[in-house]
Amino acid sequence: MGKMSVDLCGITLDNPIIPASGTFGYGYEFAELYDINMLGTFSFKGTTKDARFGNPTPRIAECSSGMINSVGLQNPGVEKVIGEELPKLAKCFSKKVMANVSGFSIDDYVYTCEKLDKCDQVGWIEVNVSCPNVHGGGMSFGTTPEASAQVTRAVKSVTTKPIIIKLSPNVTDIVSIARACEEAGADGISLINTLLGMRIDLRTRRPVVANKMGGFSGSAIFPVAVRMVYQVSHAVNIPVVGMGGVSSAEDVVEMMLAGATAVEVGAANLIDPFACKTIIEQLPTVMEKYKIDSLKEIIKGVR
């Protein structure tokens, strides 16, 4: 297992596989299917300061080689996550977990991150800056270097755990945003979040998703994700967690060659709940096939 281990912001993972936020709940549901301690870690469901019911239904649209979701960050709020969800998780997961945080103002991010920073179970805090800034005209925090850096500085001022900023691909220059986060103190970058997509029902001539548009994910976005991971990992000096359409052990190796230290698996979990288990089990065979002695050695293996 040592040959599959990686170091993410000072914490060793047995392997680089991390189920992505929003696709793995709070973990204990999957623990009924297999021992989730085989995972590197996982990023739990996006958590906000207050409870959220989410967007109106329907929230999901199927696509060729992917899906669109507009769930709207439905979650019970950080107090219940800490008081109810994490104690349940502790019964079936002995490793550090990655907390995923969303917010609609700087104060929201600060409050939620500060609360989760005090949880011993939490190893890293993944901060999703794809949320609309309610005090900034509704534009996503992650669309400009300045706003992304502002969130980064604010949460770093109230936390001691590694902060990983999760970036949106819906921008013209992702490298400048990643660099701004690094300069503001980010310990890592994760990308890509979903692309913006839309489907229309030909019979009703109306959008399939009630919110009209939503996040497009799945294997169709993998080449875009690889490109952005490559660009960002070669522009910053902090670890990059790659994600976006990953569905096989081969995809994991490709993402790591592009520059990812660890790899999140998202939509594949919704298709097959055993997706991450299968990827981890197949990694040694893929490593042998491509003559890889250690996964650490292939990070940023493409110049």
Lookup: tokens for 151:
């969130």
Q: What is the pLDDT of residues 213-245, one digit of tens each?
A: 999 999 999 999 999 999 999 999 999 999 999
Q: How far apart are CA 185 and CA 25, in angstroms?
A: 28
pLDDT at 20: 98
Question: Strand (E) positions, the chain?
Answer: 6-8, 11-13, 17-19, 60-63, 66-69, 97-101, 122-128, 163-166, 188-191, 195-197, 200-201, 206-207, 214-217, 240-242, 262-265
137 vs 18 pLDDT, higher one: 18
Q: How far apart are CA 16 and CA 260, in angstroms?
A: 9
Q: What is the mean pLDDT of the chain?
A: 96
Question: Would the pLDDT of 159 be above 80?
Answer: yes
Lookup: tokens for 260:
């990812």
Question: Would the pLDDT of 2 be above 60?
Answer: no
Q: What is the pLDDT of residues 93-146, one digit of tens each?
A: 999 999 999 999 999 999 999 999 999 999 999 999 987 766 766 678 999 999
Residues in the chain: 303
* CB-count burial class (<10 Å; 0-12, 13-18, 19+) for 49: buried
Task: Annotate 257-303 with DSSP letters as a single string.
Answer: HHT-SEEEE-HHHHH-TTHHHHHHHHHHHHHHHTT-S-GGGGTT---
Map out the domains of the chain as residue ranges.
Answer: 2-295
SS3 content of the chain, % helix, strand, coil (to 5): 35, 20, 45
Is this prediction's pTM over 0.85?
yes
Question: Would the pLDDT of 25 be above 60?
Answer: yes
Radius of gyration of the chain measured on its C-alpha atoms: 18
Q: Active-site positions?
A: 131
CA 135-139-142 angle, 5° bins: 105
Distance set, CA 272 to CA 60, 242, 278 (Å): 17, 20, 10
Question: Would the pLDDT of 78 be above 60?
Answer: yes
- CATH of span 2-295: 3.20.20.70
Residues in CB range of 98: below 8 A, 6 or more apart: 18, 21, 41, 42, 43, 44, 122, 123, 124, 125, 126, 164
Q: At what angle do helices 174-183 and 222-233 cross, to 10 degrees?
A: 50
Give yes or no for a contact between 47 and 111, defined as CB atoms under 8 angstroms apart. Answer: no
Question: Would the pLDDT of 26 be above 80?
Answer: yes
pLDDT at 303: 78
Nearest to 271 by CA among 92, 93, 94, 62: 62
